[in-house]
Amino acid sequence: MSLIHEKRKCPGWQAEALDGKQKSTVANKPLIHQTFKIMQLLGIIHVGRGYRKLFRVMKLTAILLLVLLQAHAHLAHGQISLEVRDKSLFDVMILLNKQTGINFSLTKATADKVKSLSFTIKDGSIKDILDRCVAGSAIRYQMVDSNEVHFYDPIKITPPDILYRDTMVDRFYKLTIMNEKGEPLSQATAVNQRTGKGTHTDVNGKAFLVVGPGDQILISFIGFERVFHKSVPAGEATVVMKPAVTTLDQVVLRAYGKTSERLQTGNIAVVRAEEIERQPVPNVIQALQGKVPGLVITQTNGNPSAPFRMELRGRSSINPNVTPEPLVIVDGVPLTILQMQERDYESGNTGFLQNNMNGPAVGQSQFYSIPPDIIESITILKDADATAIYGSRGANGVILINTKRAESGTTNLEASVSTGFSRVTRFYDMLNTQEYRALRYEALANDNMEPTVETAYDLELWDSTRNTDWQKFFWGKTAQTTNAQLSLSGGNKNTSFRLGGSYFRQTAINTSSGNDFRAGLQYNFQHWSANRKLNIGFSGMYSFVQSNMITLGNGVTLPPNAPGAFKSPGVLNYSGWEPNSQAFPFSQLLIPYTAKTEFLNNSISLSYALSDKINFSTTIGQSSNTTTQVQFTPIAAQNPRYNPTGQSLFGNNLGRRLIVEPHLTYTDFWGLGEVEVVLGGTYQTARQSGSKTFGLGYTNDLLIKSINNSISQIGTDNLGDYKYAAIFGRLNYNIQNRYILNISGRRDGSSRFGPGNRFGNFGSVGAAWILSEEKFFARYRKYVDFIKLRSSYGTTGSDNIGDYKYLTRWMATIPYSNTISYFPGQHANPNLQWQSDKKFEVGLNVQTVKSKVDIGVSYYRNRITDQLITFALPAITGFPNITANLPATIENNGLEMTLSAKIVEQKDLSVRLSANASMNRNKLRSYPNFEKSPYQSRYEIGYPLSIVKVLSFDRVNPETGDYDFKDLNKDGQISYDYNKISADDDTYIKDLQVRIDGGFGASVNYKGWSVDMHFQYRNQNAPNAITSVGVPGQINNAPRAMQDRWRKPGDHARFAKATTLYTINHVYYSISDQIYTDASFLRLNNISLSYQLAERVNKRLRIKQSELFARGQNLWVLTSYEGIDPETHAFGGLPPLTALTAGIKVSL
């Protein structure tokens, strides 16, 4: 055995070899005085009574340090003190090696011949200790020189031969592990494949491991390819690791650490920068559509800043006004938005806008403020094993957004510029003027009415030859898009940096002016101390967003012969709509809306290696958003007939978030396994406020931009504070990369509950078994390269109910006679407590065909109990509602599958395919006393929460032209009970949940060319945009499909007869199954074409790399859905836009 130990220098003294001995030199005494003087000059300290006392303490501390260091120097001088109790010779030599740096060589057989040692030696020499070790045994030793000692058995070997036995004995082997840049890799794992023993590298990338001649050492580090290193006779080696190419070993972020797909016990999905950058989307969340199984992302409308609705593994709350979305963490800082206004579940939340002033886009997505090009990866944590350590915050899953990091190396300047356009490519097929007028005359005739100016001004007054497609008038323009990024990065092994800037602008597609603009700055700095023990990181971003929009309304259904919007430039055509100018639909064209948002996200991380096994880390993060809104209704936008005055609306939204998370990480080898223990705590605060102020009575449009010029004002505001604290822990035990156990726990405290119920305990256990590492599996390795079974179970909580729900709340009325009154708004409930989510999962991961095909399958079952629900109270209580825990249980269970394959992998050609699918089934499993609950008219036990109660449509009656419905209960009449889903009436339950969601794609690379495409698909039912338009025959245009209507007795048609009336027959039709349809689709989400210029061309241009690219988004949809987009169902709403861009990317 050869022990190789690196001598270390301590501050304040120096050690150097001198004839086998050591001497010490004490640092200059005046150093403490100099330090004090400098601090005095800089103003850090001031001389005074307290500081003189501090100075004396500092001097005393310095003296104690010098004494200790002198003692250390004396220890290394050759006088050694050692106390041993029941130690083997092998263990004693390790202790001596650490104290003296002397190398020792002996075989295991030789060491075993010495009995257990127990002795105490004070101020002895190395010879005294060695003699004591071999006393009473046949073992002898030889001091080759002052730094090397050999033990031998004189019966088997003669002393001269010992000098040549280095390659024949077990010995301590020194490894230095680094990356390709020469930077040491701390906490890399080295395991002797023969013995199963392992160790970790220290902060300098060094490790010591007992090996025998020719032993195989498995070296692994997350994010790098595994290395099998064969020990060499020299006794030490430097191993350079290469970044991982296989998906199994690439870095996968998790809570408070990193892992890999090979070693993870939970369900974690990753979308990396190259996948995001290929998509010309203004909102980064849009880039996740169809990429992550189980994550259903729905765009609410086509505005660039519009919110998206996210749902991970099904709906988890009965409350229809709660939008349970995953926890989003940006560079360690939770992007927590306190919901200050209630929103319907289907509409999703309104993002940064929490003042009930939602604007034309119906909110503003918080993710719109994060430029997609600065993101390094987005990690989605799904099951209990991955999310339980986040406690209640991770009840609905966790999304980790990590921006690009600083990297050491030569300074690199990278620039990218692209330009393109976006537009609506699908429009409703509406009736032209001739067809519309025929429909209107037919409706009047069916109602036995004559057309008059009062009943049919569209026929009597409007131009019968005018024909306008109002869709193209409102949003038929082409938006111009410009996108640019610039970044500078570089540094050395100790300090690195990255600075980046981004610019995005998209003009409006509507007939009025407007645009969306975003500018951002991203920065990241990393610093390592010289001894690699201390790491300080600073990461942040700032962005400014401005959106100028107008509210378009539902102009799609305007009659095609309606008069124009403007009488002259800037003057609205109210007179052209007389005598029905109150129906004038174009006033919004002169009512501009502007929102300006500043978003700041900063985090500081500090990490210090207390020892080779214990690391302390802390993250301090802060983020804020400030949004100001203005919307002006000038006199020019109103009908002059009524002598109007101007109005203004000013809005403000403010969000502040702070988090502090310190934690300790302990890593070691216990037996044959590698252990990691994490202990830490969290303190988090969030504050959200919103306000809006109406200004009324402006007499001049030039004065409208100041609230001070209004005659009267009306204001509303809201405020929410949230505090959260927790302690957490995790234990991960990995036995030979074969059996992996992960246990995590967390105790959460939330300000959303009363004093007696604020804390909850949550945790999980996950395990994985890598079968392919078993010996019995060797015979199958020619078929399967890797196979892993994993499972997890755990509980998480939820406090997703808003703030102050446990308190009594009062609401203020509008002032009357300078008096404000208050009325009850919410009843108190101090017993409010945590909602609980129990999650179970089992999964299988397989890699086959020489690691070219990866398959993943997961089954999960989540049960959410103790539902937090707000329900109405009887009027006699004086309060409208109360929030409480109800013993209802929701269950989500499903199956997720992923597949990736390298079809061709050659030098100049590669072809890769990928696919994923998820199938979630949601249901209300139980609800005691459901018949008396406020939800009996909305839900049904055993059915999904997405059900609707509908009449069963039969036909259009060929004799009457009315809609007929099936009499399901056979009572001779059509009945609909609004108060209960399972009532004995003529209704049945229709399910609208997404049945299957997923995507697939292909990537082809040939020499410098690359083509990537991705498809998204979804199987679902949704509202039918065509049948929900209304009654054909009123003063609204209709889709061409309504030409298939009843006209005379005997007709078999799809739609009822035309009429100007809205009857009970139309009411029944609006609540029948005809309003819903199959909205399944297959969408070409993205296609990207790029070309990397040849190296010789780059050299000629004096650049490092260059790339030309063209990209498209939302290029094609295959669907039977009758609306213009199966994802946004509202008739007349702005659909997702088709985008095409082209540009260049250059590295200098």
pLDDT in tens, 1081-1127: 999 999 999 999 998 999 998 899 999 999 999 999 999 999 899 98
* Mean pLDDT lowest among 60-69, 223-232, 585-594, 637-646: 60-69
Residue of 310, 502, 282 lying closest to 1114 (CA atoms)? 282
What is the rounded CA–CA span in Å between residue 325 and residue 659?
Answer: 20
Structure-block tokens of residue 121: 């030696």
Cα 451 to Cα 441, 442, 444, 557, 871, distances in angstroms:
8, 11, 7, 20, 49
Better-scored residue on pLDDT, 1066 or 813: 1066
User: Average pLDDT for residues 519-527, to the nearest whole number?
Assistant: 96
Cα 740 to Cα 674, 789, 794, distances in angstroms:
9, 10, 16
Q: Is the pLDDT of residue 4 over 50?
A: no
| Per-residue pLDDT at 144 | 64
What is the rounded CA–CA span in Å between residue 728 and residue 744?
Answer: 7
Given the DSSP bridges, would you call strands 1138-1147 and 409-423 parallel, antiparallel or unpaired? antiparallel
User: Average pLDDT for residues 672-685, to the nearest whole number?
Assistant: 95
Tens digits of per-residue pLDDT, 823-839?
888 899 999 999 999 99
326 contacts 650 by C-beta, under 8 angstroms = no
Residue of 308, 312, 394 lying closest to 351 (CA atoms)? 308
| Per-residue pLDDT at 16 | 30
Q: Is the pLDDT of residue 740 over 80?
A: yes
1144 contacts 1109 by C-beta, under 8 angstroms = yes
pLDDT band at 48 (very low <50, low <70, confident <90, very high): very low
| Per-residue pLDDT at 169 | 56
Please name the residues in contact with 128: beta carbons below 8 A apart, sequence gap of 6 or more: 121
| Per-residue pLDDT at 556 | 85
pLDDT band at 324 (very low <50, low <70, confident <90, very high): confident
584 contacts 596 by C-beta, under 8 angstroms = no
Tokens 């491991």 — which residue?
A: 209
Residue 1107, classed as helix, strand or coil, is strand
| Per-residue pLDDT at 497 | 96
User: Average pLDDT for residues 1000-1019, to the nearest whole number?
Assistant: 96
Displacement of CA 518 from its chain's centroid (Å) = 21
| Cis preceding linkage at 326, omega within 30 | no
431 contacts 1038 by C-beta, under 8 angstroms = yes
* Mean pLDDT lowest among 348-352, 396-400, 860-864: 348-352
User: Average pLDDT for residues 58-69, to the nearest whole number?
Assistant: 40
Q: Is the pLDDT of residue 46 over 50?
A: no
pLDDT band at 881 (very low <50, low <70, confident <90, very high): confident
5 contacts 147 by C-beta, under 8 angstroms = no
Most confident of 9-23, 773-787, 910-924: 910-924
Q: Residue 665's beta-bridge partner residues?
A: 615, 678
Q: What percent of the chain has pLDDT over 70?
A: 91
| Per-residue pLDDT at 645 | 96
| Cis preceding linkage at 579, omega within 30 | yes
Q: Is the pLDDT of residue 402 over 60?
A: yes
Structure-block tokens of residue 1088: 């990207």
589 contacts 572 by C-beta, under 8 angstroms = yes
Cα 274 to Cα 250, 375, 626, 1012, distances in angstroms:
14, 10, 31, 11
Structure-block tokens of residue 29: 């005494």
SS3 sequence, 1000-1064?
Answer: EEEEEEECCEEEEEEEEEEECEEECCCCCCCCCCCCCCCEHHHHCECCCCCCCCCECCCCCCCCH
Structure-block tokens of residue 829: 């409930």
253 contacts 269 by C-beta, under 8 angstroms = no
Displacement of CA 815 from its chain's centroid (Å) = 44
Q: Is the pLDDT of residue 349 over 90?
A: no
Q: What percent of the chain has pLDDT over 90?
A: 61
Q: Is the pLDDT of residue 1024 over 80?
A: yes
Displacement of CA 533 from its chain's centroid (Å) = 30
User: Average pLDDT for residues 132-139, to the nearest whole number?
Assistant: 87
What is the rounded CA–CA span in Å between residue 1128 and residue 553?
Answer: 15
Tens digits of per-residue pLDDT, 284-305?
999 999 999 999 999 888 889 9
105 contacts 149 by C-beta, under 8 angstroms = yes
- The C-alpha angle with vertex 609 and arms to 607 and 611, in degrees rounded to 5, equals 160
* Mean pLDDT lowest among 37-46, 261-270, 299-308: 37-46
Displacement of CA 259 from its chain's centroid (Å) = 17
- The C-alpha angle with vertex 980 and arms to 974 and 986, in degrees rounded to 5, equals 20
pLDDT band at 56 (very low <50, low <70, confident <90, very high): very low
Structure-block tokens of residue 1098: 């780059």
What is the rounded CA–CA span in Å between residue 280 and residue 286?
Answer: 10
Q: Is the pLDDT of residue 9 over 80?
A: no
| Per-residue pLDDT at 387 | 92
What is the rounded CA–CA span in Å between residue 1076 and residue 1078?
Answer: 7
1038 contacts 1055 by C-beta, under 8 angstroms = no
718 contacts 691 by C-beta, under 8 angstroms = yes
pLDDT band at 628 (very low <50, low <70, confident <90, very high): very high
User: Average pLDDT for residues 918-941, to the nearest whole number?
Assistant: 91
- The C-alpha angle with vertex 291 and arms to 287 and 293, in degrees rounded to 5, equals 140
Counted residue by residue, the chain has a size of: 1148
595 contacts 627 by C-beta, under 8 angstroms = yes
| Per-residue pLDDT at 78 | 58
589 contacts 511 by C-beta, under 8 angstroms = yes
User: Average pLDDT for residues 573-595, to the nearest whole number?
Assistant: 89
- The C-alpha angle with vertex 213 and arms to 208 and 217, in degrees rounded to 5, equals 50
Residue of 1052, 1033, 1054 lying closest to 445 (CA atoms)? 1033
Q: 506 — phi, psi (to 5°)?
A: -135, 125
Cα 635 to Cα 513, 577, 699, distances in angstroms:
19, 18, 8
| Per-residue pLDDT at 13 | 28
SS3 sequence, 282-336?
Answer: CCHHHHHCCCCCCEEEEECCCCCCCCEEEEECCCCCCCCCCCCCCEEEECCEECC
Q: In the chain, how long is the greatest CA-to-CA distance? A: 127
Displacement of CA 421 from its chain's centroid (Å) = 28
* Burial call 871-897: b when 16+ CB within 10 Å, e when fewer: eeeeeeeebebbbbbbebbbbbbbbbe
What is the rounded CA–CA span in Å between residue 829 and residue 811?
Answer: 17
Tens digits of per-residue pLDDT, 155-207?
654 333 333 334 345 677 889 999 988 889 999 999 998 888 888 998 889 98
What rounded mean pLDDT belongs to the chain? 87
Q: Is the pTM of this model over 0.85?
A: no
Q: Please report the domains of the chain, with CATH numbers, ordered by start residue.
A: 1-77 (no CATH), 171-245 (2.60.40.1120), 279-407 (2.170.130)
| Per-residue pLDDT at 341 | 80
Displacement of CA 1084 from its chain's centroid (Å) = 23
| Per-residue pLDDT at 71 | 39
Residue 99, classed as helix, strand or coil, is helix
| Per-residue pLDDT at 109 | 72
Q: 52 — phi, psi (to 5°)?
A: -65, -40
